[in-house]
Structure 1
Amino acid sequence: MSHSKLLVQLIFMMFIIMLFTLFFVLIYRFEMNEKKVTNQVQRDYYVVKKFTITNTISVAAIGDILLHKDVYESARISLNEFDFKPIFNEVRPILLKPDFLVANQESLPAGGDLGLSSYPRFNSPVEIIRDLQYAGVDFLSTANNHSLDKGEEGVYASIEAFNSYDMPYTGTYLHEEDQKRIRTFSMNSITFATLSYTYGTNGLLTPVGKEYLVNLLDVDKMILEITRAKEELNVDFVIVNLHWGNEYEIHPSNNQVDMAISLTEAGADIIFGHHPHVLQPIYIRNTQDDRKAVIAYSLGNFISGQRGGQKDLGGMISLECHKTQLAGRKSNSIHSVHFYPTYVRKVKGSFTVLPFTEDQHDIPYSFEATMEHVLPSYTE
């Protein structure tokens, strides 16, 4: 072999070695860079996770507590004593699940001194407050068309009863300052405001100068109070209880829809609706400031003496309120909206509120149709 050929082969081998060396160097540097990126991503993830705090509260509501005479008489255990707990025993396990449960106390419990009464002007035994607490209720909305059934004396007596049982309430008030005080509560570092209003009081007027006795629907006033709750009281979520709509209509009126839009755009996060005495749909509305607001147009009758025509159907809406904090910033959101239907059974003069499940075939309604009606368009 000539000297020149040997030199060419040597140069070629050195070139091949250099190529392999360069290849492995590039592979090594790529792996190191990838590892650095992975480590940085992991560090960023753990930093974000470490400094991200998410608090969660489950909030729920049930419909009308409207005690007709046959309901409270079924709970009478002596001349002046009543026990409603057996009515709620079947459904109690469901009601105890949420962290905070609101009910619409439609027939005010002013007690026997003012005379117990039924339709058209209601007055209920005070024991219903105690037994709703037993069932799991934490808060009462009291602004409704029966708020003045026993006049201002009925408002004062029912508030005295609420206070005696340490039951928080809103919607009816002792005086003007009481009305101006927005009810707030805090659980798991999440703060809420609760408001309550009614379309009217069946033609019964508050005495002149005592308009504070019951909150009436007034969109401008409601927007001001929602704004005050969010901006001055700095609450995370605003719950609005509305006594509105038309009785026995299973769909919301145009007025309900328009009002819901106005209030949710003003900052209301949750609307619990009452008065129609039948179930109306629940909608999730995307607001212009990128919130998800929940509107339950009507939760039906939870307990009443009304029968048939879906007036003996009610239920509990439950949802999760999340508050997430990261680097001094907070964001609030609503998740996991669920509905648990209930049915009021009456047998031989005794009333029982039953959970309505797809396994129960002795209830004269379709479970599937009920759920499709109440949750027609919800997607998480």
Structure 2
Amino acid sequence: MKKRRKKNLPLNFTERSKAKVSLICSIVVLVLLCIVFRQMDQMFVKQEAEKEQKRQEEEAKAQAESREVYTANIAAVGDNLYGSSLYASGQSDTTSSWNFDHVYSQVSAEIQAADLALVSQEALFTSNHDEVSSSDTCAAPTEVGDALANAGFDVVEHASEHAFDYGSSLIDNTLNFWSTNHTNVTPLGIHSSQEEAGQLKVVEVNQIRIALLNYTFGVNSDSFSSGDSYRIDVFDKSKIDSMLQAARESSDCIIFCAHWGEDADTSPSEFEKQWAVYLMQQGVDVLLGSHPRTLQPYGTLSDGQGNEMLVYYSLGSFVSNEESLERLLGGMAKFTIEKTVDGEETTVSVTNQSLEPTVMHYNYDTGDYGVYMLADYTDDLASSHSVRYTVGDSFSVQGLQTEFDTILSENVTPSTVTTEITDSSADAEGSDSQTDNAENSGDGSTDESEDDSYEDSGSYDESYDESYDDSGYYDESYDESYDDSEYYE
């Protein structure tokens, strides 16, 4: 009997529909599974990313917490040297006490706003009013020191050509005055003993240790001998090198106050420029100049080898009885010292540097005496200034501003000589004694002699707002250091 082979019969409609539905369902399930797995994968990746971000944030937070930044805002002015009429303005008809707070009342807010304020006080102090003098030899009443402290000054520079006018006695009187009456004030440049002369002055401001040094080009007195050399800090390379080494080892920042330069010269002398480059190479962070009685330019020196220094060649006269527009115009230097501690690494930088003009005002008829920020000075005050009897209408707010702009626009070329710097300048003796009673002298004469070794090829730009080009060796923009590495081999 033959077997009958069955033929493949086609699926009916229902069966075909069920097959299609089954296939579609399978595909849908696969798609859904893919979506689910993809979402799970994305969720996992996202979770890992969130964990990594959180870890990085925690690390950044921990690093930020360990990274500490400290700042100290510094202000500094030039010479504080009174004439006889200024002394008279602080005397009382009814009492024996004198007071000079009025001289600084218009600028005390600026001084007190700084974390550390410095001033150059040339005449040393005496408590005997009969010894007060402002002629070739200078002695100031202790009340001037009181006024400086009351105005907000923290550091007083005493190394100057007048520091030995009365021998050692006023040095001791001055140091005793500060230690007895104003212990918060740090005097610089004069010393009571050989031991004290070798001790570096370091002040701590907002957890920043600042080393302070103050040197003068020389003294006027012929009686100053080698036995007195420890009494006053006079430019001496070996001594300065020793103190700078100690400063580098024990401080975060070094401020060097230099009493130097040519009288009434708005350009830095070769002596200034040589020492400026040398001090920059030795690690000084800020250099503050005084003595010329006039302003000089400022900026940032750099040798391209990691050394950089902010230098104010001269801050001019702060308080005086001078009789010319140039000598009545001064400057208040302002800058910020920033210390950053990041783990075991500590860095220090000087930022926000500026120079704001000041003007010394006096009116002999009304007895008004005081120093102003030029920004606060008015034409009415200028028109009442007694210096107009000498210089005429040229003394005005605009005239002062123009002089300020002209001085600061000068092209200063750094010195290329640092290996043969001298310990004292050629005019160390008798270079600039302030005229006594300038208001009575009537001539307003000054010594305009210049250092023949100084060559100024720069131009003067009446518009100080525009930066000048000095072949890349000096930067008046104050934001970036120039590269003068070719000068230092």
Asked if 2 retains the 8 angstrom alpha-carbon contact of 1:222 and 1:263, the reply is no
Change (3 A) 1:5 1:372: farther
Structure 1 residue 85 and structure 2 residue 101: aligned?
A: yes
Report the TM-score, using the length of structure 1 for normalisation: 0.88
Partner of 1:184: 202
Shift in Å, 1:288: 5.4
- Secondary structure of the residue that 2:277 maps to in structure 1? helix
Change (3 A) 1:289 1:327: farther
Structure 1 residue 310 and structure 2 residue 326: aligned?
A: yes
Shift in Å, 1:90: 1.3
Structure 1 residue 75 and structure 2 residue 93: aligned?
A: no
Structure 1 residue 149 and structure 2 residue 165: aligned?
A: yes
Listed as ranges, the matches of 1:229-248 within 5 Å are 229-231=247-249, 234-248=250-264
Change (3 A) 1:44 1:371: farther
Asked if 1 retains the 8 angstrom alpha-carbon contact of 2:280 and 2:308, the reply is no
Select the structure that is richer in strand: 1
Question: What is the CA–CA distance in structure 2 between the aligned matches of 1:209 and 1:253, rounded to whole Å?
Answer: 30
With 29-38 and 162-171 compared, the bigger mean Cα shift is at 29-38
Partner of 1:379: 479
Structure 1 residue 174 and structure 2 residue 274: aligned?
A: no
Matching residue within 362, 385, 388 for 1:346: 362
Question: What is the CA–CA distance in structure 1 between the aligned matches of 2:24 and 2:324, rounded to whole Å?
Answer: 101
Structure 1 residue 98 and structure 2 residue 114: aligned?
A: yes
Shift in Å, 1:270: 1.7
Matching residue within 62, 65, 69 for 1:47: 62
Partner of 1:60: 75
- Secondary structure of the residue that 1:124 maps to in structure 2? strand
Structure 1: runs of 5 or more not aligned: none
Matching residue within 204, 207, 211 for 2:225: 207
Question: What is the CA–CA distance in structure 2 between the aligned matches of 1:20 and 1:290, rounded to whole Å?
Answer: 60
Asked if 1 retains the 8 angstrom alpha-carbon contact of 2:295 and 2:316, the reply is yes
Partner of 2:279: 263
Shift in Å, 1:38: 2.1
Asked if 2 retains the 8 angstrom alpha-carbon contact of 1:152 and 1:206, the reply is no
Question: What is the CA–CA distance in structure 2 between the aligned matches of 1:161 and 1:207, rounded to whole Å?
Answer: 25
Change (3 A) 1:373 1:38: farther
Q: Note the aligned Cα RMSD (angstroms).
A: 2.9
Shift in Å, 1:2: 11
- Secondary structure of the residue that 1:226 maps to in structure 2? helix
Q: Number of matched residues?
A: 378
Shift in Å, 1:41: 2.2
Structure 1 residue 279 and structure 2 residue 295: aligned?
A: yes
Map Cα deviations across residues 181-205 of structure 1 (whole Å, 9 max, x no partner). 1112223322122111001113634
Question: What is the CA–CA distance in structure 2 between the aligned matches of 1:175 and 1:114, rounded to whole Å?
Answer: 27
Question: What is the CA–CA distance in structure 1 between the aligned matches of 2:378 and 2:33, rounded to whole Å?
Answer: 80
Asked if 2 retains the 8 angstrom alpha-carbon contact of 1:145 and 1:202, the reply is yes
Change (3 A) 1:19 1:258: farther
Map Cα deviations across residues 309-344 of structure 1 (whole Å, 9 max, x no partner). 321112322222222222233222222223332111
Question: What is the CA–CA distance in structure 2 between the aligned matches of 1:291 and 1:22, rounded to whole Å?
Answer: 61
Partner of 1:134: 150
Asked if 1 retains the 8 angstrom alpha-carbon contact of 2:77 and 2:332, the reply is yes
Question: What is the CA–CA distance in structure 2 between the aligned matches of 1:213 and 1:189, rounded to whole Å?
Answer: 30
Change (3 A) 1:308 1:113: closer
Change (3 A) 1:4 1:262: farther
Matching residue within 211, 223, 244 for 1:226: 244
Map Cα deviations across residues 352-376 of structure 1 (whole Å, 9 max, x no partner). 1112107734442447543675484
